[in-house]
Amino acid sequence: MRKGKAKASDRDVVTVPKRKGRGQQLLLPEPHPHQSGASSSSSTSVPPAPPPESTLVEDENAEESLEFGEEIIHFDSPIRAYDPTQTALAMAGHHHHGGGGGTSSSASSSAQAQEVRKRKSIKSEGSVEVVGPMEVEGSVKSMGAVTFTGDFSVRDRIEAYGDIEVNGNVTCGSKVKSFGSLYINGSMLCSDKVKIFGKLQITGTFECQDEIEVWGAVTINGYMKCNKLTAYGSLTTVGDQSWYEVEDTETVWGAKLIQHDDFEG
> If pLDDT is split at 50, 70 and 90, which confidence band does 11 have?
very low
Residues whose CB falls within 8 Å of the CB of residue 84, separated by 6 or more in sequence, listed in order: none
pTM of this prediction exceeds 0.85: no
> If pLDDT is split at 50, 70 and 90, which confidence band does 96 have?
very low
Q: Roughly what angle, to the nearest 10 degrees, separates helices 88-97 and 102-113?
A: 160
Q: Is the pLDDT reported for residue 158 higher than 70?
A: yes
Sorted by where each begins, the domain ranges of the chain are: 10-68, 117-257
How many other C-beta atoms can be found within 10 angstroms of the C-beta atom of residue 187?
Answer: 18
User: Rounded to an integer, what distance in angstroms lies between the CA atom of residue 9 and that of residue 104?
Assistant: 52
> If pLDDT is split at 50, 70 and 90, which confidence band does 67 have?
very low
Bridge partner list, 205? 187, 223
Q: How much is the pLDDT for 29?
A: 52
> If pLDDT is split at 50, 70 and 90, which confidence band does 260 have?
low
Report which residue type is found at 64: E
Residues whose CB falls within 8 Å of the CB of residue 7, separated by 6 or more in sequence, listed in order: none
Rounded mean pLDDT of the chain? 72
First to last CA, the chain: 78
Q: Is the pLDDT reported for residue 142 higher than 70?
A: yes
Q: How much is the pLDDT for 172?
A: 96
Contact 110, 87 (CB under 8 A): no
> If pLDDT is split at 50, 70 and 90, which confidence band does 237 have?
very high
Contact 253, 232 (CB under 8 A): yes
